[in-house]
Amino acid sequence: MAHFLKVALIGNPNTGKTSVFNALTGLNQKVGNYPGITVEKKEGSCRLNRTTKAHILDLPGTYSLNASSMDESVVIELLLNRNNKDFPDVAVVVTDVENLKRNLLLFTQIKDLEIPTLLVVNMSDQMKRKGISIEVEQLQADLGTQVILTSMRHQEGVAALKEALVNYRQLPTTPLLDLETIDADYFSRLQKTFPTESLYKLWLVITQDVNFSSLERKRIQAASDFKVQSDAVLKRLQQKETIKRYQIINQTLKQTYQVNNDAATDLRSRIDRILIHKVWGYVFFFALLFLIFQSIFDWSSVPMDFIDSSFAQLSQWVNAELPPGLFTSLLAEGIIPGLGGIVIFIPQIAFLFLFISLLEESGYMSRVVFLMDRGLRRFGLSGKSVIPLISGTACAIPAVMATRNIENWKERLLTILVTPFTTCSARLPVYLILISLVIPERSILGINAQGLTLMGLYILGFAMALLSSWILKSYFKTTTKSYFVVEMPNYKMPQLKNVGITVLEKTKSFVTEAGKIILAFSVLLWLMASFGPGEPFTKADTIVREANINNPLTEEALEAEIASYRLEHSYIGILGKAIEPVIRPLGYDWKIGIALISSFAAREVFVGSLATIYSVGSEEETPIKNKMAQEKRANGQVVFDLATGISLMLFYAFSMQCMSTLAIVKKETNSWRWPLLQLGLMTVIAYVTAFAAYQILS
């Protein structure tokens, strides 16, 4: 019978903790949220040997156990609560070989919690190039633990780490710091009050305001008595603790860690002079964005065309081979076109996440955050607002969650309100299909016009976020000054395994999450389009044939007109006709109106909805893009012309993203006031902008 070991991976940001997690778990991992809060929970499993399996929990990056954010609080509360189902049997602290001194502060704190703790010194392949040498045996003796040098790039040290995890019971748990050396009277009284408890755990309970469930209620009250001193006194004791810990670290590294500065290279500083330059940094960043969007269009065109035609052929085959009836109709006209409307965008979504992953893995994304901070202050945003705004290009939901790192409430609220303007990946399918319809597929001076349009939409969304923030900042005036701190990691070659896992997991998540909604809406739309009230629907065949008795049509043309008449008088047609007067000034007909409403569940549903609507009653083998291009108004004009296409793109650029975003804003602000205000303002901006664009271009 296999023994299950619970392992917690802990470390500062940018130490390669994710690489260690990926090396141990591979694809045996899942991502969710901690119950009741919006902090990401990443966990996986691996086999350590024939008899031992490990459950690996990748905890949020943290600099110390003196929490200043929700992410860090999650780490502390887990490590203090032995009753938590995820409380680790062993903690693995991952450090970066070039920043060992700073990383060891967290290690000493965790070891003082008397949890078996391993020290992983990652990126050891950089030691020779950076002129670093480590006396591993002496370091192990001084820190009272096992030290493992690893290089995830070369898969070195993974076997040793697994072996050390199996033998974790042999690790000493003796604390490194005697807290009584900080304040003998205070800490001796604390220990006497709770003689059976770990002194450092008690100290964290007092200073961090977290729940220590193993203490009885009366003891919790007793512990609070140690807080009667002012916050300034506790802060001073914390500062003394940090100084004492660094004294231990400095003494240890003086004997065990050497750096030959002559071997170090200044390549990083030379690159940074360009990439974070106040002029050339922006030039490089926007040039890089331009290349990314060009590539997204050029590289994905072949697989997208294949997927599009394959789903069209599949629908035709189902219609031809299965017996006629509701089930066949549901498959051919509802489910298959609906799913095809999202699967077709897998290549472009995968390329988008590929580029984002490469930027993060290389260390460049931190430079972007630093670079953009310079200009954001004037718009009333915190420097930390950059992270949610950039994260919003993937999805607004985790982007809104990321605002929890902004301590000032007003700055955080302002960031939450404007973040949905940034173009998320869910809008990408809408943009891509519309751009391919109304923007010519040609190059101007070697520049792909469609890729340029896509980049313009991303910039437009970001610009509207800044403009909205600038307008709102007077309403959210704050007297509290905030500070922005970002770590500049070393540049490194992205690890293909990390990039591959990220692209696979993100794309799979995008497809499965969107797929659930699209499948449900496809079935609902098919039902509403396949049934209708009264004789206009049930007797559509007779009515149309009688109306055309003096106007001979081919059988094919007659069938198409019957299908169109029946759709118009179905339940979905009635709903579409009801809202058409409101959206007609924007250039939209009732079919587009249905897609607009249904896409509030998820933006990707827009394409799937139109695919379902245009497929009902049709047996033609025609890809959705061609069906949209062939759609005509009553006067014979093409529906998706330049004016309508631009109007739709602007509407989606500025309107609220989806109901999930609305829900997460409500949760983060703990009020319906802000999400409803956000929904109203964004809808008005989207409507007015789309109206102006259509009226001017038409």
Per-residue pLDDT band for 616 (boundaries 50, 70, 90) equals: low
692, two tokens: 């102006």
Out of 217-231, 268-282, 485-499, give the one with best mean pLDDT: 268-282
For helices 346-362 and 496-530, what crossing angle results, to 10°? 150
pLDDT at 595 over 90: no
Q: Are residues 293 and 221 in the same domain?
A: no
Give the CA-trace dihedral at 209, 215, 220, 222, to 10 degrees: -130
Residue 600 lies in a domain: no
Find, among 200, 380, 328, 283, the residue nearest to 619 by Cα.
328
Q: What is the 3-state secondary structure (H, E, C) of 1-62?
A: CCEEEEEEEEECCCCCHHHHHHHHHCCCEEEEECCCCCCEEEEEEEECCCCEEEEEEECCCC
Tell me the average pLDDT across 526-538. Answer: 81
User: Is there a single domain that holds both residue 327 and residue 468?
Assistant: yes
**Phi/psi of residue 445, each to 5°?**
55, 40
pLDDT over threshold 60, residue 220: no
Q: Residue 448: enclosing H or E segment and its boundaries?
A: strand 447-448
Per-residue confidence (pLDDT) for residue 2, from 0 to 100:
61
* Same-domain pairing of 156 and 196: no
Q: For residue range 59-109, what is the model confidence (pLDDT) as tens digits?
A: 888 888 887 666 677 888 888 888 888 899 999 999 988 888 989 999 999
Report if residue 378 sits inside a domain.
yes
CA-closest candidate to residue 355, choices 421, 399, 300:
300
206: Cβ–Cβ under 8 A, 6 or more apart, which residues? 190, 223, 224, 226, 227, 234
Same domain, 82 and 16: yes
Same domain, yes or no, for 234 and 283? Answer: no
User: Same domain, yes or no, for 223 and 287?
Assistant: no
> Do residues 184 and 313 both lie within one domain?
no
Q: What is the pLDDT of residues 455-478, one digit of tens each?
A: 888 889 888 988 888 888 777 665
pLDDT computed for residue 690 by the predictor:
93
What is residue 614's predicted lDDT score, i.e. its pLDDT?
66
Answer with the one of 233, 263, 293 that is the final residue of a domain: 263
Q: Report pLDDT digits (tens) over 6-18.
A: 999 999 887 888 8
What span, in angstroms and rounded, lies between the C-alpha atoms of 242 and 250? 12
Question: Does residue 115 contact residue 79 with C-beta atoms inside 8 Å?
Answer: yes
Is 339 a residue whose pLDDT tops 80?
Answer: no
Structure tokens at 600: 């509030």
- Rounded alpha-carbon distances, angstroms, from residue 62 to 70, 103, 357, 423, 530: 10, 10, 21, 29, 55
Instruction: Give the pLDDT confidence score for residue 163 in this predicted structure.
Output: 92
Q: Domain tally for the chain?
A: 3
In a domain, 258, yes or no: yes
Q: State pTM to two decimals.
A: 0.61
Give Cα 659 distance to the centre of its chain: 17
Task: Give the span between the Cα atoms of 412 and 385, in whole angstroms.
Answer: 8
pLDDT class for 171, splitting at 50, 70, 90?
Answer: very high
The CATH number covering residue 96 comes to 3.40.50.300
pLDDT in tens, 186-218: 888 888 888 877 888 888 888 876 544 444 334
Question: What residue type is 450 in one-letter code?
Answer: Q
Q: Does the pLDDT at position 652 exceed 60?
A: yes
Residues 302 and 407 in one domain: yes
Question: From the centroid of its chain, how far is CA 591?
Answer: 32
Give the highest mean pLDDT range of 245-259, 271-285, 336-350: 245-259
Element (H or E) spanning 677, and its range?
helix 673-697
Question: Which of these three, 170, 204, 226, is where a domain ends?
Answer: 170
Contacts of 668 (CB under 8 A, 6+ apart): 38, 400, 401, 403, 404, 416
**pLDDT score recorded for residue 106:** 93
Considering the domain boundaries, does residue 569 fall inside one?
no
- In a domain? residue 205: yes
Determine the pLDDT at residue 341: 64
Comparing 512 with 248, the larger pLDDT belongs to 248
H helix runs in 494-604, sequence order: 496-530, 535-538, 540-547, 555-568, 571-583, 590-598
Identify which has the larger pLDDT, 478 or 273: 273
* Residue 96 DSSP code: E
Please tell me which of 40-44, 280-284, 302-306, 475-479 the model is most confident about, judged by mean pLDDT: 280-284
**Beta carbons of 412 and 381 less than 8 angstroms apart:** no
**Does residue 498 sit within a domain?**
no
pLDDT of residue 5: 92
Mean of the pLDDT values across residues 564-590? 84
> Do 302 and 448 sit in the same domain of this protein?
yes
The C-alpha atoms of residue 72 and residue 105 are separated, in whole angstroms, by 14
Among 29-38, 209-218, 241-250, 502-511, the minimum mean pLDDT is found in 209-218
**Domain final residue pick, 136, 170, 204:** 170
pLDDT, average across residues 320-326: 83
Question: In this model, does residue 263 exceed pLDDT 50?
Answer: no
Q: Which of 244-258, 404-418, 533-547 has the lowest mean pLDDT?
A: 404-418
Residue 595 lies in a domain: no
Which long-range CB contacts under 8 A does 368-375 form with residues at least 24 apart?
A: 368/285, 369/486, 370/276, 370/486, 370/488, 371/275, 371/276, 371/281, 371/282, 371/285, 373/484, 373/486, 374/278
Question: Which residues fall within 8 angstroms of residue 302, CB to CB, at 6 or more apart?
Answer: none
Residue 530: its pLDDT value, please?
80
pLDDT tens per residue across span 128-143: 877 888 999 999 999 9
Q: Which pLDDT score, from 0 to 100, does residue 391 have?
A: 64
Q: Which domain range does residue 274 map to?
A: 266-493+623-698
- Looking at the fold, whether 272 and 160 belong to one and the same domain comes out as no
The mean pLDDT of the chain is 79
Q: Strand, coil or helix: what is 193?
A: helix
Asked whether residue 197 falls in the same domain as residue 276, the answer is: no
The better pLDDT of the pair 617, 247 is held by 247
Task: Verify that 323 and 463 share a domain, yes or no.
Answer: yes
Does residue 293 belong to any structural domain of this protein?
Answer: yes
